[in-house]
Amino acid sequence: MAKAHVLVLPLPAQGHITPLMELSYRLVDHGFEVTFITTEVHHALVVGALSASGSEVALGGGIHLASIPDGLSNDEDRKDLNKLFDAIPRHMPGHLEQLIAGLEAAGRPAAKWLVGDVSMGWSFEVARKFGIRAVSVWSAATASLALNLMIPKLIEDGLIDDKGSLRRHEMFELAKGMPQVHTSQLPWINDSVPEGRHIIFDMVTQNNKLNALAEMTVANSFHEAEPSACGLFPNILPIGPLSADKKPVGNFLQEDGRCIKWLDAQPDRSVVYVAFGSIAILDGRQFKELAEGLELAGRPFLLVVRPDFSPGGLSKAWLDEFRQHLYGRRGMVVSWCSQQQVLAHRAVACFVSHCGWNSTIEGVSNGVPFLCWTYFCDQHLNRNYITNLWRTGRAVSPDVDGIVTKEELRSKVEQVIGDAGIKERARLFADVARQSISEGGSSYENFKRFVNLLSE
């Protein structure tokens, strides 16, 4: 007998769409029918990237793509998080209601469950109107959700006020064995301009309340990676690391498959892979230091440069010249790639990363040592896991002007690749990650509980 029809709703951002798409594949494998809902703008990007790669049919087998408006006009910047997070709860609930009603009117099976992003808490209220039960998904580290849930304690301890603003500048930890965080690096403080911080803080506090409408919360992590955070909130069930097993993960940009063939031609554990995710940007001066530092390191490197990676200050002519200079030499530049395939490749020796959680968990799962170069939000917390608790990497140190120099990059790359302890810990951690999702592992058992709930 066919299992339930499940609606899957991520926050409209690449770092959220990817893990929820990976989770959708897992649900299809267990017999569920999935309607994967994104915003109209991101739906167009995903479909465009799939079509350009000739793999638009690869999602099939039970995953249906659907979209709703986000409330912003086509020309508005969706990387302006204050603007996006202000629009979403005001516009998307009504559109989600219309979509659900439309699916039923079109003869689709009635949705029984909503598997929704914790950051889209309003959707749980919409689901309840239709008698749809809800499970929430946290796509980042359990420790970062713990930070959100512990806001009342942070206020009580005098670290922030009831508006989320800083009262003290200091390092703190929520519990022994959790990564230390500086108060200035709290997500709602460091991922937006000061005048808009209240928007994100209000969204976080509201989602904390709305998450109570979900019958279960699962996370893309594994217990052995975050034992203290999991112990602090045992009702958050880690079911990761999630993986798509080479299936499309809802990328906004077309993957350049040539880089896999290029990696095939490189020696084992020789390549420095450099990628900063879907949002981080570098100014022209910093990008040049990065590029020249990679050449200075004297190792083969694969560098991901999105079209919007370095807006202003970096001429197209300079980048074209740099690309041309590389051909036939030791580096390759692509606009996007299948990161999981790259990190799983035998040639990769080091991952220079912004430490977004997807990148972090993918690097960990493949036993790749890190050089951490964080940008904003929860990336600082993830870096502290990598450098201080797991000890599977190091971090760059900017100079007095905030620039990571080419000499600093070269030095740290050599330190990471030359550290036998880091390499061994990374290898052992990958073994633990694989064991967690294998039969009898911690994430395996949690995922069984999740599927059993959805099967009720």
Residue pair 144/378 in contact by the 8 Å Cβ criterion:
yes
pLDDT at residue 209 is higher than 50: yes
Residues 124-140 have a mean pLDDT of 97
Task: Answer whether the bond into residue 19 is a cis peptide, omega within 30°.
Answer: no
Q: Which whole number is the average pLDDT over 59-87? A: 82
> Please, which residues have CB within 8 angstroms of residue 341's CB and are 6 or more apart in sequence?
246, 260
Among 161, 136, 182, 226, smallest CA distance to 433 is for: 226
**So what's the pLDDT on residue 84?**
85
In the block, residue with structure tokens 């879907």: 278
Residues of the chain with pLDDT > 90, as a percent, come to 73
What mean pLDDT is predicted for residues 226-240? 97
pLDDT of residue 57: 46
Q: Is residue 15 a contact partner of residue 436, using CB atoms and an 8 Å limit?
A: no
Burial (0-12, 13-18, 19+ Cβ within 10 Å), 440:
exposed
Q: How is residue 249 written in tokens?
A: 């993960």
Residue with tokens 């999702």: 437
Confidence of residue 73 (pLDDT cuts 50, 70, 90): confident
Please tell me the distance from the alpha carbon of residue 273 to that of residue 297, in angstroms, as a whole number: 13
List of residues 6+ apart from 90 with CB closer than 8 A: 71
Percent of the chain with pLDDT over 70: 93
pTM: 0.93
pLDDT tops 50 at residue 50: yes
At position 38, the amino acid (one-letter code) is T
pLDDT tens digits for range 280-289: 888 888 988 9
Q: In angstroms, rounded to a whole number, what is the distance separating the alpha carbons of residues 62 and 54?
A: 19
5-247+438-454 and 258-418, same CATH topology = yes
Tell me the mean pLDDT in the region 303-322. 74
pLDDT of res. 309 = 75
What is the third-level CATH fold of 258-418? Rossmann fold (3.40.50)
Residue 9: strand pairing partners? 116
Give, in degrees to the nearest 5, the angle at Cα 34 between 59 and 101: 125
Q: What pLDDT, on a 0 to 100 scale, did the predictor assign at position 322?
A: 74
Q: What is the pLDDT of residues 16-38, one digit of tens each?
A: 999 999 999 999 999 999 999 99
Q: Of how many residues is the chain composed?
A: 456
**Residue 312 contacts by C-beta under 8 Å, 6 or more apart in sequence?**
283, 284
pLDDT digits (tens, 9 = 90+) for 397-443: 999 999 999 999 999 999 999 999 999 999 999 999 999 999 999 99
Instruction: Give me the CATH code for the 5-247+438-454 domain, please.
Output: 3.40.50.2000
- Rounded mean pLDDT of 312-327? 68
How far, in Å, CA of 287 to CA of 440, rounded?
45
**How far, in Å, CA of 145 to CA of 69, rounded?**
27
CA gap 364, 341 in Å, rounded = 13
Task: State the greatest distance between any 2 C-alpha atoms of the chain, in Å, as a whole number.
Answer: 64
Provide the token pair at 325. 């200079």
Contacts 24+ apart (CB under 8 A), 406-411: 406/289, 406/290, 406/292, 406/293, 406/296, 407/293, 407/296, 408/293, 409/289, 409/290, 409/293, 409/294, 409/296, 409/297, 409/352, 409/371, 410/293, 410/296, 410/297
Average pLDDT of the chain is 91
> Model confidence over 143-190: pLDDT tens digits?
999 999 999 999 999 999 999 999 999 999 999 999 999 999 898 886
Can you give the residue ranges of every domain in the chain?
5-247+438-454, 258-418
Place of tokens 């799939």: 50
Q: How many CB atoms lie within 10 A of CB 115?
A: 27
Identify the pLDDT of residue 320: 74
- How far is it, in rounded angstroms, from Cα 322 to Cα 329? 11
Tokens read off for 180: 């230390």
For residue 192, name the pLDDT band (cuts at 50, 70, 90): low
